[in-house]
Structure 1
Amino acid sequence: MPVQFLSEAEHKSLNRFPSEVSSEDLNRFFLLSDQELSILKQLRAEHNRLGFALQLCCLRYLGFFPEELQLPKPVINYVAQQLQLIPELLVFYGQRSSTQREHQRKIQALLGYHRASNSDLLNLEQWLTERALEHNQPLLLFHMACEHLKQQKIIRIGTTILAKMVATARTKANELIYQSLQNLLTQDKTTWLDGLLEVEPNEKRTRLSWLQKTPTGNNPQQILETLDKISFLQQHQVDAWNLSQLNPNRINYLAKIGARATNQYLQRASEIRRYPILICFLKQSLYNFTDDLIEMVDQRLWELYNQAKRNFDSDRLMASKTIDEKLKMLQNIGQILLDGDIEDNSVRVKTFEYITPDNLKASLSETQQLIRPENDAYVDYFGKSYNRVRRFSSKLLATLKFQVKGSDSGLLTALNLVHEIHLGRRRKLPDEAPTEFVPESWRPYVQSGQKLNRRYYELAALWFLRQQLRSGDIYLAQSRRFSELETYFIPPKEWSLCRDEVVNLTGTPIDARLRLTEREKELVILMGQVEELLNQPDSDLIEERGKLVLSPFKADEKNLELKRLAEEITTRLPRIEITDLLVEVDSWTNFSNAFEHLNLAQNKDSNTLLSLYSCLLAQACNLDFQQMATSTGLLYRRLCWFNNWYIRDETLRLANNALIDYHYDLPLSHLWGGGMLSSSDGQRFPAKGSLRQARSLPRYFGYGKGVTFYSWTSDQFSQYGSKPIPATVRDATYVLDEILNNETELSILEHTTDTAGYTEVIFALFDLLGMRFSPRIRDLADQKLYRTSNTDLGLYPLLKKHIQGIINQRLILDDWDEMLRLVGSLKMGWVTASLIIQKLQAFPRKHPLMRVLQEYGRLIKTIHILRWYADEANRRRQRATIE
């Protein structure tokens, strides 16, 4: 393990004062208190007062005294101004080293700092080892140690010694991890783990590379291969491995190395590193494959069902001619029956003059086939796909162990019965087989008379299983996305301890009555403003055909001066190579520092940066690495290696955050906005090849498939989040994800979307999280408005008939703490918003938490709509942001 993870230049940089200090840090660390100013007045020479003050601030800011007191001019000026001294006096300070050392001792005593003792170093070593069990990046551990020393009021030790302590802590942490896994590392187990790295003669690949390959589609072949991998891991009891003694961060870190490492790399690694990496990778792979499998099966069933619907529509279209013939026949027979001139005993004769008995029988038979059940779900057409489902359903039921908490309507029993038939233990379904789970539209097909149709019974069970897994009513122990619903929330015992912290973070009161009173007052004020607008004859808000209608904004034409300015700016923009732009922006923002090797501590020289830039450019321009290698003269395998170890989701996020933070500090950015308002929207793109997230959506992709790229943009026009999502899922499901995951300097307090980005649940969650949700809703006049039971509508005669609903406040009061626990789970990272929203939406019967969120969201939505009507300036601001 490398000790020297810091270069000589980095050592020098860490021992001197930074070249820039933010205004916030100036005010926080370099503002002298009255007590400090009083102490400084006791010093004789003016240059000593200035030097003493600067050293005092340095210790408070850095946690150590820099080797040389060379500070940026703004810092010196800031301190000198407080002392009413000339900054140039600093050149006379420190001519006697004894004076500077004596001042440092006094400053230590004044601020409560002390030099590190042997016991302090032992404690630091233990603390670093504990942190190294959580994190492995040496630079991160180094900076964490510096901050720890600062908090303990211990003057930072030398960077060389501290770097060695970090390296020692990392080595010790690896040894402790290895020791904690000794109960798993039996002789048989280590032999098996080493065997994963050996090339199998028949397959010409290692088991490791087989497990590293993740599924890209949802066809039966990939479903079966994923089942093989899960079965392989289960056969070797990976599901029984207990890794609770390891920190989750460390497990994720080691698993990522295992997912990218070659067999040669792991074979060269020591046992202390090799086995923990393989164990964590295999355990994480079991979770990942299980999650992937359920999504693949879900999507496969949905595609087959959609295909059944398309086949039905096609057959219905082809049968239109037959339907016309049957209608004509019915019309003619009806006329015969209704003709009073035809005697009753002659009706049959007259009818058969029009159509022969054989033709009538054939027509009736065809008509029977055209008759569809009342809630037609195309089940018979879906049943034609049984053989396709059967290709993987048997192995699915044999491999996964489904669990249930509460009632499952007999579904697990049904799945066991189907599995026994697959194994040959049964020939048919028993008469007492459960059918409570069968949807109403499936019953005519599943149960005909006293017998159960085995094919439809199995399809119905799998279809209902799909829904139950989505909601969490049925779950898998070895899964993250399809686990029990309760596991996504802060546990009740921990919630009682962290409730106050969540309330402080969100600003949401513990007492629901306080919040409802606040929102009721806001509602009353807005109702009064809207009522006043309706009374004004020249208002933009009018009542038309019983609906509230807003006059559209008129676009402002660009005058000649603005057009000339735009042309001048365009002509002044230089045309440069994209490669030069990439390098220049990096020189401003240092975004390349975010791209760290997953496992090694390496300094980035010019050759490293060249490879990194090439990989980024290839990814951005959708070029393969062979093309990039040919264009740049770099080795293809070198580009692949850099892309594999340096460019990851987390490093891309950190690099993007660096760009956003730099952009945030630019004066021009603040002319556009303060970084507190943002918007999000999705763009749909067709996809080629195998892509699991790709979905069929004829309106946008025709006969192909595609994905939606959902992006979050601040009012400074910086994009702080982006993620691909299925094109068939409503945008609102994902709106909160990147807002809660925002780690930039942007302080998002308000967010706006188009109509697809809103639901009443989203309104509720934004409000409970301490933010404002301001979507631009299409057909606003058709939205139902709500009030509290305390609101006196008699005060608003014109608005009265538009407020139709009353909020169930008792429901909100009863479940307020549960809503806070959900919000706390979102805020503290227990679950993503999109996952929990999808879970709650998937319940066949509305979940109580979903019901109360919708109820509260109706109140917040009403406030938003009334604010939209009442505040023209707000409408213009939000419209400009989303557009």
Structure 2
Amino acid sequence: MARRSLLTGDERRRLFEPPVTDREVARCYTFSAEDLEWIEARHGASNQLGVAVQMALLRHPGFGWRLGETVPAAVLRFLADQVRVAPLALDDYARRPQTRLTHVRQLHDRLGLRPFNRTDLRHAVQTASAAARSTDKGGPIVEALISELRRQRIILPPAETLERIGLAGRAQARRNAADDLLASITLSQFERIDQLLINDPTLRKSPLAWLREIPESPSAASMAGIIERLTYVRAIAIDPAITSSIHEHRFEQYAREGAVAPAFLLSGYSVGRRRATVVAQLIFLESRLSDAAVDMFDKMVGSLFAKGRRGRERKYQASSREVSQIMRLFSGVIGAVDQARVDGGDVLDRIDAQVGWWKVLAAKPKVDALAALAIEDPLVSAADRYGALRRFVPTFLEHMRFRAGTGGAPLLKALEILRDLNLSGRREIPDDAPLPFASKHWKALVKPIGGPINRRLYETAVAATLRDRLRSGDVWIEGSRSYKRFADYLLPKDEVAAEAETLPVNVEMGAYLAERAGLLDQRLAVFSRRLAKDDLVGVTLKGEELSVTPVKANAPDEARSLDRAIDALLPRVRITELLREVDALTGFSSMFRELRSGKVHDNPSCILAAVLADATNLGLERMANASQGVTYAQLAWTQSWYLSEENYKAALARIIEVHHAQPFARH
């Protein structure tokens, strides 16, 4: 069986091997004057260089000079230059093993170091476990372990031992996180959680798979489906506050894993890990379903107004013939009035003679209808689809928990009134119901002077106002992630003071403003003096008008020619070939680790194809059809388990790291 691995090859080289770049070699292996004096006290050039190598490697990476280990040429040259001996002198070092052991003991005493032993194992695992509270990635875990051993002046054990300790610490952190997350879950809740992974004959799938299938098309049926799922999740009654019992990143790890792992795979987990993953998914699903319900409400209310607008436009188009007839009639009336003015005849008689009063009077209903259509408010046309609104708004209002600041109290009261009417079956809106609409015209339409409140217009206007307030953040939803209170996006108050201390500015408001005002006065004084001397290029003062000449592009023709020449030299390559070449140079595909185990994908082509599908919006099916040796199922699995924001950041960091190692990066 292959040995379980915690680190990638790149991470092992970075953590366990001496550096090779000049800057890193100088940073890690520059001796102090006292070090050099102690080294030069050794007898002979070979002993001096040998003990220098021992000291350097004890300090970094921290293992010491292991038997059979070859010292990198860059490190050896740098150490030899400091000791002022030839690098070849190392070949004669420690021909007697006792000499090397003596130097090792002397260095341990001088540096205050001691070897790692079994009594250190427990603390080392605890250190790795503490580091793994927030991540499953091996690099940060082993880095924290190495830092703690160095702090305690302990020589690092073999690299394999460090990895095994890291694996043990990560496993312990996973168990602890699961226990902490599940500490307040009751037996009845555990029963419902376990049932989520068992196929339901009525659903023809597991309840967890059904919960994940969130309807997206805007319709009353979709809204009902979302609310049904939200009600199911809320019935399990998992308190979202339990997420504070574990690290935020660990919870996100559980939630991401629960979002993609099929029920059969979750069933193979240990009991604690399986339940913790499902609990995290339920908490995540409650907020996601709440967001989906609000998004659906937003789309459907917007659709009512859009359809009302299109209905008015169709009426305009359908009335074009009537408008033409009325315009011709009106033209005849104007002609008759003008003729009466010229010859001094009676206007009404002339209109009757030339146009006919009966035609004018017969056109009045059409004129009134067209005038009403022209000034019809969007609220009225949206309310014409009141039946469609009633199919989703009552359900939405019943199951959402709205909150607002003081200014949103009238809207919350209006929502409460609509809920009560829906539950009681009453139709009349109370006369004292609030009108929380920004438009005065809407208020006049909804409640005419001396008349009752129009139920259709009122409910439509409240829905539209709620939509706008949710968008602006004036109203928020309990349990939502995208529509939560604005203050929840900010740092908690008890953490502000500590974070403010780390800022490179004066956090005392008065002192900060005084400092900035003084700096502004100083710079304005300099600006005024230079302006008075006409010492500012492109800036002039004419009377009280300050004129600033726009800066124009000043690229010389030679630069443009060089740009075109360089562009012509670049070969035209296929994006797939370029992506594969960059991966061969940087190994960025190895940064895409499996969400569950942290392993590298055994087929880098799947990673590259999935990344390309993400980047081009080509879609997995079309990408699979365009790729050789990669199926749709493989791409779907890769996208779910390997492509995450965290892995994208790690891959980008890897590419940047390789860029910085290139010679041109020095310029």
TM-score w.r.t. the length of structure 2 is 0.85
**Residue number in structure 2 paired with 1:492:** 493
- Per-residue CA shift, 1:571-626, capped at 9, x if unaligned? xx4x777655444422321212211111124365xx53344344445555636458
Correspondence for 1:644 among 629, 640, 643: 640
Residues 338 and 242 (structure 1), Cα distance of their counterparts in 2 relative to 1, 3 Å cut: farther
- Deviation at residue 411 of structure 1 after TM alignment: 0.8
**Residue number in structure 1 paired with 2:550:** 550
Highest RCO, 1 vs 2 (Cα 8 Å, sep ≥ 6)? 1
Q: Give 3-state SS (helix, strand or coil) of 1:502's partner.
A: coil
- Per-residue CA shift, 1:216-270, capped at 9, x if unaligned? 5545444433222212211222356633212221111111111111111112222
Q: How far, CA to CA, are the matches of 2:170 and 2:435 in structure 1?
A: 57
Q: How far, CA to CA, are the matches of 1:112 and 1:598 in structure 2?
A: 41
Paired residues for 1:655-674 under 5 Å: 655-668=651-664
Contact 1:468 1:474 in 2 (8 A): yes
Q: Judge which range, 656-665 or 102-111, deviates more.
A: 102-111
Q: How far, CA to CA, are the matches of 1:585 and 1:103 in structure 2?
A: 46
Residues 15 and 51 (structure 1), Cα distance of their counterparts in 2 relative to 1, 3 Å cut: farther
Contact 2:530 2:536 in 1 (8 A): no
- Per-residue CA shift, 1:101-124, capped at 9, x if unaligned? 443444444444443466643333
Residues 167 and 332 (structure 1), Cα distance of their counterparts in 2 relative to 1, 3 Å cut: same
- Deviation at residue 190 of structure 1 after TM alignment: 2.5
Residues 526 and 47 (structure 1), Cα distance of their counterparts in 2 relative to 1, 3 Å cut: farther
**How many residue pairs align between the two structures?**
659
Q: Judge which range, 319-328 or 217-226, deviates more.
A: 319-328
Q: How far, CA to CA, are the matches of 1:281 and 1:489 in structure 2?
A: 24
Contact 1:439 1:460 in 2 (8 A): no
**Residue number in structure 2 paired with 1:50:** 49
- Deviation at residue 435 of structure 1 after TM alignment: 1.2
Q: Whose strand proportion is higher, 1 or 2? A: 1
- Per-residue CA shift, 1:665-717, capped at 9, x if unaligned? 4344666xxxxxxxxxxxxxxxxxxxxxxxxxxxxxxxxxxxxxxxxxxxxxx
Paired residues for 1:774-853 under 5 Å: none
Residues 386 and 94 (structure 1), Cα distance of their counterparts in 2 relative to 1, 3 Å cut: farther
Paired residues for 1:24-423 under 5 Å: 25-67=24-66, 68-116=68-116, 120-214=120-214, 216-239=216-239, 242-312=242-312, 315-316=315-316, 325=326, 329=330, 332=333, 336=337, 352-353=352-353, 354=355, 355-356=357-358, 358-359=361-362, 361-370=364-373, 372=375, 378-423=378-423
Q: How far, CA to CA, are the matches of 1:581 and 1:313 in structure 2?
A: 51
- Deviation at residue 419 of structure 1 after TM alignment: 1.9
- Per-residue CA shift, 1:522-541, capped at 9, x if unaligned? 455456666766987xx598
**Residue number in structure 2 paired with 1:460:** 461
- Per-residue CA shift, 1:614-650, capped at 9, x if unaligned? 4445555636458637853455544433333222232
Contact 2:240 2:283 in 1 (8 A): no
**Residue number in structure 2 paired with 1:427:** 427
Contact 2:254 2:280 in 1 (8 A): yes
Q: How far, CA to CA, are the matches of 2:442 and 2:310 in structure 1?
A: 18
2:557 alignment partner AA:
E
Contact 2:115 2:154 in 1 (8 A): yes
Q: How far, CA to CA, are the matches of 1:387 and 1:140 in structure 2?
A: 58
Q: How far, CA to CA, are the matches of 1:546 and 1:310 in structure 2?
A: 50
Residues 637 and 513 (structure 1), Cα distance of their counterparts in 2 relative to 1, 3 Å cut: same
Contact 1:129 1:173 in 2 (8 A): yes
Tell me, which stretches of 5 or more residues in structure 2 are unaligned?
A: none
Q: How far, CA to CA, are the matches of 2:564 and 2:410 in structure 1?
A: 74
- Per-residue CA shift, 1:555-586, capped at 9, x if unaligned? 6435898489548734xx4x777655444422
Q: Give 3-state SS (helix, strand or coil) of 1:329's partner.
A: helix
Q: Give 3-state SS (helix, strand or coil) of 1:448's partner.
A: coil
Q: Give 3-state SS (helix, strand or coil) of 2:407's partner.
A: coil
Residues 224 and 667 (structure 1), Cα distance of their counterparts in 2 relative to 1, 3 Å cut: farther
Residues 69 and 435 (structure 1), Cα distance of their counterparts in 2 relative to 1, 3 Å cut: same
Residues 257 and 566 (structure 1), Cα distance of their counterparts in 2 relative to 1, 3 Å cut: closer
**Residue number in structure 1 paired with 2:484:** 483
Contact 1:63 1:153 in 2 (8 A): no
Residues 504 and 425 (structure 1), Cα distance of their counterparts in 2 relative to 1, 3 Å cut: same
Q: How far, CA to CA, are the matches of 2:165 and 2:368 in structure 1?
A: 87
**Residue number in structure 2 paired with 1:600:** 597
- Per-residue CA shift, 1:849-875, capped at 9, x if unaligned? xxxxxxxxxxxxxxxxxxxxxxxxxxx
**Residue number in structure 1 paired with 2:452:** 451
Q: How far, CA to CA, are the matches of 1:577 and 1:252 in structure 2?
A: 37
Q: Give 3-state SS (helix, strand or coil) of 1:403's partner.
A: strand
Q: Give 3-state SS (helix, strand or coil) of 2:476's partner.
A: strand
Q: How far, CA to CA, are the matches of 1:532 and 1:460 in structure 2?
A: 62
Residues 568 and 127 (structure 1), Cα distance of their counterparts in 2 relative to 1, 3 Å cut: closer
Residues 534 and 261 (structure 1), Cα distance of their counterparts in 2 relative to 1, 3 Å cut: same
Of structures 1 and 2, the larger Rg is shown by 2
What is the identity percentage for the equivalent residue pairs of Structure 1 and Structure 2? 22
**Residue number in structure 1 paired with 2:624:** 628
Q: How far, CA to CA, are the matches of 2:260 and 2:283 in structure 1?
A: 15
Q: Give 3-state SS (helix, strand or coil) of 2:255's partner.
A: helix
1:61 alignment partner AA:
H
C-alpha root-mean-square deviation of aligned residues, in Å?
A: 4.1
Contact 1:40 1:49 in 2 (8 A): yes
- Deviation at residue 500 of structure 1 after TM alignment: 1.6
Q: How far, CA to CA, are the matches of 2:366 and 2:477 in structure 1?
A: 51
**Residue number in structure 2 paired with 1:743:** none
Residues 499 and 8 (structure 1), Cα distance of their counterparts in 2 relative to 1, 3 Å cut: closer
**Residue number in structure 1 paired with 2:584:** 587
- Deviation at residue 352 of structure 1 after TM alignment: 5.0
Residues 361 and 564 (structure 1), Cα distance of their counterparts in 2 relative to 1, 3 Å cut: closer
**Residue number in structure 1 paired with 2:604:** 609
Contact 2:500 2:507 in 1 (8 A): no
- Deviation at residue 206 of structure 1 after TM alignment: 1.6
Q: How far, CA to CA, are the matches of 2:9 and 2:656 in structure 1?
A: 27
Q: How far, CA to CA, are the matches of 2:564 and 2:436 in structure 1?
A: 73
Q: How far, CA to CA, are the matches of 2:428 and 2:580 in structure 1?
A: 70
1:297 alignment partner AA:
F
1:160 alignment partner AA:
E
Q: Give 3-state SS (helix, strand or coil) of 2:406's partner.
A: coil
- Deviation at residue 659 of structure 1 after TM alignment: 1.6
**Residue number in structure 2 paired with 1:792:** none
**Residue number in structure 1 paired with 2:519:** 518
Q: How far, CA to CA, are the matches of 1:334 and 1:194 in structure 2?
A: 86
Q: Give 3-state SS (helix, strand or coil) of 1:587's partner.
A: helix
Contact 2:593 2:647 in 1 (8 A): yes
Q: How far, CA to CA, are the matches of 2:22 and 2:320 in structure 1?
A: 75
Q: Judge which range, 505-514 or 639-648, deviates more.
A: 505-514
2:503 alignment partner AA:
V
Q: Judge which range, 645-654 or 435-444, deviates more.
A: 435-444
Residues 53 and 323 (structure 1), Cα distance of their counterparts in 2 relative to 1, 3 Å cut: farther
Q: How far, CA to CA, are the matches of 1:13 and 1:240 in structure 2?
A: 41
